[in-house]
């Protein structure tokens, strides 16, 4: 068999301890023992650098002549049909964006010129790694993509619920997504990162460590779309009427405050209701409790950017809010669900390059690559360059151009003239004054494939994030890392990850190593830049420290039985609704219960289908006979045990004490168990629920 020269493309295999390469024609070629095949393009050309896009200088914009990146991202964008490669599991809603005050000082973007003006919007929330049919509560990044239909074209702010990302350069995007997707030889795990491929890639990619802290935190298992932040991730520019630039970062903050679930709870929610997030958004909008976020901006100039020891073009970094306070500039309200899921939520096409005049890009290499990639993605997924003819993607402002024909064209230029310039004076013309203009940045640098030295600190902000968490949140990160790495089969991968963790927090690394049964700690990973230990904690990075001031938007599950106190049930409903929350009745039978005064009340859930993981707080509203019956039902015991284990507030009547005892919960175990002694106690219970969780209980539970 002829030896295949280095540089030939194709797949590899092992046959009788010989490494073989399969060529594009199907032929097999043998490599010399110990040889590693050279990476090539699909055309067979050897690749010199697969880590960086071709840029103008280390910090400059990406170049369109980068054929290797173009081919790599082109192939990646076309790997799936018709489902999205990433963000396949999504759910969307219509609404509007309302501007607070004019931002004409900073930008000529039309939607920011007039206070109080409302602009139509569509938002799609999603997970990243799972397929369209995966469950909502996977541990994952959440997409937060907003399409605002401005008077000067669509603006797509395509972000996530996490302000940083795994990689610094878009050329690595296919790799990180390949690694987190189901392993190709076995097609599992689905919607999960707990496997060798992902952690092998991450352990070899130090720049991912900041993002890993976020993904292993409770940010990756949000309670609801309504209770999570959204981030534009990248640094953008605002341009004023004189084309003067101000750097900007975009942050969506939920009016209802932040909230997540715990991992044990997420696993059970996925089993009880895999559409938990979808149902929550649907129910909220259908009931008139419209979700709302404020758009905040961090504005800064070049001098401020240069004052940091990290690079604002680095998408693995953030600017702490304590250093640069976000300014609220408008609000987003979602008030209408799509008429048809496929036509709107599934066919909506978001592209980072969709910006109105007055908003511009920075040279962030991940953003530059995304701008290049998204058009390919929509062409492959929606099957035609005319995807803007689909109503959800069409602008709502007047538009005119000479683009014509193509698959499924719904409209074409009218008349004889379909080109420009023309001597007839027909058709649209460019407008230098109103049209989009890029910031005239002066760049004088060689064409290179390099990563800027200012991108080299991979651990300092990861450490800052961890140090900014409360004790329960730090514990959750350690638990998440332990769980994920326990699913990794190769010990060397686990060791590499612990070596990285030691650079973030020694106690964290030692805890994970101990839980994994590692007898000896590895030495900390080599760091290109010595991690800083003087960055102050940022309370804004903690979910618990940014919880709500009320119980508004939350849900109480009332487990009731025949013969329960009807007046107390009514008082609970009044108090819960006054708070802006929702009460749902859980009963032994879906038909409901009959209270002690003979009133029949319909139930939302049968006990077997309404576990406590679906609620933010619970009440045990039982008669003595009802409690005796429920103590014999596993679903009822689990209802109480899970609520207690997940640190939720539990209201109970005296008749419910036997059910508490059966689950091993003492009625005076902690302040989170609240005895309900008549209608007047209902308001007190709801007031206690504003804390959402009693985290002090977690140490005693030891899930």
Concatenated DSSP letters of 77-126 = HTSSSSS-SSS-SEEEEEEEEEE-S--TTT---GGGSSTT-EEEEEEEEE
Positions marked catalytic: 87, 160
What is the sign, positive or negative, of the torsion defined by CA atoms of 662, 668, 674, 677? positive
Q: What are the start-end ranges of the H helices in 181-312?
A: 196-203, 209-215, 263-272, 276-286, 302-306
Residue (of 334, 424, 272, 378) closest to 121 by Cα position: 334
97 vs 33: which has the higher pLDDT: 97
Q: How far apart are CA 546 and CA 567, in angstroms?
A: 35
12-16, 54-58, 239-243: which has the minimum mean pLDDT? 12-16
- Position 44 confidence tier, pLDDT thresholds 50, 70, 90: confident
Radius of gyration of the chain (CA): 28
Q: Does residue 9 surpass a pLDDT of 50?
A: no
Q: Does residue 394 surpass a pLDDT of 60?
A: yes
Determine the distance from the C-alpha atom of residue 515 to the mean position of all C-alpha atoms in its chain, rounded to a whole number: 28
Q: Could you give phi then psi for residue 657, rounded to 5 degrees? A: -55, -40
What is the CB neighbour count within 10 angstroms for residue 498?
A: 25
Q: How far apart are CA 9 and CA 22, in angstroms?
A: 8
What is the CB neighbour count within 10 angstroms for residue 683?
A: 16
What is the average per-residue pLDDT within 614-636?
97
Q: How far apart are CA 229 and CA 215, in angstroms?
A: 14
pLDDT of residue 77: 85
Residue 237 DSSP symbol:
E
pLDDT of residue 703: 58
Q: Does residue 15 surpass a pLDDT of 80?
A: no
404-418, 579-593, 665-679: which has the minimum mean pLDDT? 404-418
pLDDT of residue 234: 98
344 vs 703: which has the higher pLDDT: 344
What is the sign, positive or negative, of the torsion defined by CA atoms of 180, 185, 187, 188? negative
Determine the distance from the C-alpha atom of residue 115 to the mean position of all C-alpha atoms in its chain, rounded to a whole number: 30
Q: Does residue 619 surpass a pLDDT of 50?
A: yes
What is the average per-residue pLDDT within 105-121?
97
Q: Where are the domains of the chain?
A: 1-47, 59-389, 456-544, 552-701
pTM for the full predicted model: 0.90
User: Residues for the chain: how many in total?
Assistant: 703
Q: How far apart are CA 40 and CA 25, in angstroms?
A: 16
Query: What six digits make up the tokens of 384?
Result: 């035609």
CATH class of 456-544: mainly alpha
pLDDT of residue 456: 97
Q: How far apart are CA 703 and CA 695, in angstroms?
A: 13
Q: Does residue 32 surpass a pLDDT of 70?
A: no
pLDDT of residue 22: 53
Does residue 78 contact residue 72 with C-beta atoms inside 8 Å?
A: no
Residues 631-643: pLDDT tens digits? 999 999 999 999 9
Q: Does residue 702 surpass a pLDDT of 80?
A: no
Does residue 130 contact residue 88 with C-beta atoms inside 8 Å?
A: yes
pLDDT of residue 701: 83
DSSP symbols for 539-561: GGG-SGGG--SS-TT-EEEEEE-
Q: What is the CATH number of domain 59-389?
A: 2.40.180.10
pLDDT of residue 21: 56
- Position 1 confidence tier, pLDDT thresholds 50, 70, 90: very low
Q: Which residue has the tokens 């990973």?
A: 525
Q: How far apart are CA 98 and CA 310, in angstroms?
A: 34
Residue 562 DSSP symbol:
T
Beta bridge partners of 158: 145
Q: Does residue 2 surpass a pLDDT of 50?
A: no
pLDDT of residue 20: 55
Q: Does residue 7 surpass a pLDDT of 70?
A: no
pLDDT of residue 79: 74
Residues 196-245: pLDDT tens digits? 999 999 999 999 999 999 999 999 999 999 999 999 999 999 999 999 99
Q: Which CATH architecture has domain 552-701?
A: 3-Layer(aba) Sandwich (3.40)
pLDDT of residue 29: 63
Q: Does residue 5 surpass a pLDDT of 50?
A: no
Question: First vs last Cα of the chain: how many Å apart?
Answer: 58
pLDDT of residue 582: 98
């Amino acid at each position: 068999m002829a030896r295949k020269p280095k540089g030939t493309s194709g797949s590899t295999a092992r046959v009788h301890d010989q490494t073989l390469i399969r060529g594009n024609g199907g032929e097999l070629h043998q490599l010399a023992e110990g040889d590693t095949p050279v990476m090539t393009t699909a055309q067979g050309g050897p690749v010199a650098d697969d880590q960086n896009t071709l840029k103008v200088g280390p910090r400059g914009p990406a170049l369109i002549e980068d054929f290797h990146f173009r081919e790599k991202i082109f192939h990646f964008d076309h790997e799936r049909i018709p489902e999205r490669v990433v963000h396949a599991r999504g759910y969307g809603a219509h609404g509007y964006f309302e501007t607070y005050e004019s931002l004409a000082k900073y930008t000529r973007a039309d939607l920011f010129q007039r206070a109080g003006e409302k602009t139509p919007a569509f938002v799609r929330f999603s997970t990243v790694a799972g397929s369209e049919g995966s469950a909502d509560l996977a541990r994952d990044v959440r997409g937060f993509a907003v399409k605002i239909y401005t008077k000067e074209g669509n603006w797509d702010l395509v972000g996530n619920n996490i302000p940083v990302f795994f990689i610094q350069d878009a050329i690595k995007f296919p790799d990180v997504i390949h690694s987190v997707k189901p392993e190709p030889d076995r097609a599992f795990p689905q919607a999960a990162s707990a496997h060798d491929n992902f952690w092998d890639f991450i352990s070899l990619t130090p720049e991912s460590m900041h993002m890993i802290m976020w993904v292993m935190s409770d940010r990756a298992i949000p309670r609801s779309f309504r209770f999570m932040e959204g981030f534009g991730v990248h640094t953008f520019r605002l341009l004023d009427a004189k084309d003067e630039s101000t750097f900007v970062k975009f942050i969506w903050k939920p009016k209802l405050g932040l909230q997540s679930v715990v991992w044990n709870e997420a696993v059970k929610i996925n089993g009880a209701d895999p559409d938990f997030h979808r149902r929550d958004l649907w129910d909220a909008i259908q009931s008139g409790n419209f979700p709302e976020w404020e758009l905040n901006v961090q504005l800064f100039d070049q001098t401020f950017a240069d004052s940091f020891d990290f690079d604002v073009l680095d998408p693995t970094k953030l600017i702490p809010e304590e250093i640069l306070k976000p300014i609220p500039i408008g609000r987003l309200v979602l008030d209408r669900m799509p008429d048809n899921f496929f036509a709107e939520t599934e066919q909506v096409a978001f592209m980072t390059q969709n910006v109105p005049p007055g908003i511009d890009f920075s040279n962030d290499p991940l953003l530059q690559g995304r701008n290049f990639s998204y058009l390919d993605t929509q062409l492959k997924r929606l099957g035609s360059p005319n995807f803007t003819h689909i109503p959800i993607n069409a602008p709502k402002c007047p538009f005119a151009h000479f683009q014509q024909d193509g698959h499924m064209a719904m409209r074409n230029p009218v008349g004889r003239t379909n080109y420009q310039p023309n001597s007839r004076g027909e058709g649209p013309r460019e407008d230098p004054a109103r049209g989009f203009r890029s910031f005239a940045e002066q760049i004088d640098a060689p064409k290179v494939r390099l990563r800027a030295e200012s991108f080299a600190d991979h651990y300092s902000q990861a450490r800052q994030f961890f140090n900014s968490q409360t004790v329960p949140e730090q514990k959750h990160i350690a638990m998440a890392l332990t769980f994920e790495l326990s699913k990794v089969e190769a010990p060397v991968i686990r060791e590499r990850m612990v070596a990285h963790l030691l650079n973030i927090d020694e106690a964290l690394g030692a805890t994970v190593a101990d839980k994994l049964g590692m007898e000896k700690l590895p030495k900390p990973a080599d760091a290109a830049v010595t991690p800083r230990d003087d960055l102050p904690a940022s309370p804004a990075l903690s979910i618990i420290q940014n919880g709500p001031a009320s119980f508004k938007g939350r849900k109480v599950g009332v487990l009731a039985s025949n013969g329960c106190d009807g007046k107390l049930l009514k008082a609970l409903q009044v108090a819960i609704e006054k708070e802006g929350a929702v009460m749902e009745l859980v009963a032994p039978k879906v038909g409901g219960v009959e209270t002690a005064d003979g009133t029949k009340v319909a139930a939302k859930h049968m006990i077997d289908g309404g576990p406590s993981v679906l609620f933010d707080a619970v009440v045990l509203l039982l008669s003595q006979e009802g409690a005796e019956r429920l103590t014999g039902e596993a679903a009822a015991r689990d209802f109480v045990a899970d609520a207690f284990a997940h640190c939720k507030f539990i209201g109970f009547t005296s008749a419910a004490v036997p059910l508490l005892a059966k689950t091993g919960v003492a009625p005076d175990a902690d302040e989170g168990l609240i005895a309900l002694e008549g209608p007047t106690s209902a308001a007190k219970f709801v007031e206690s629920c504003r804390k959402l969780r009693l985290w002090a209980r977690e140490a005693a539970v030891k899930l």
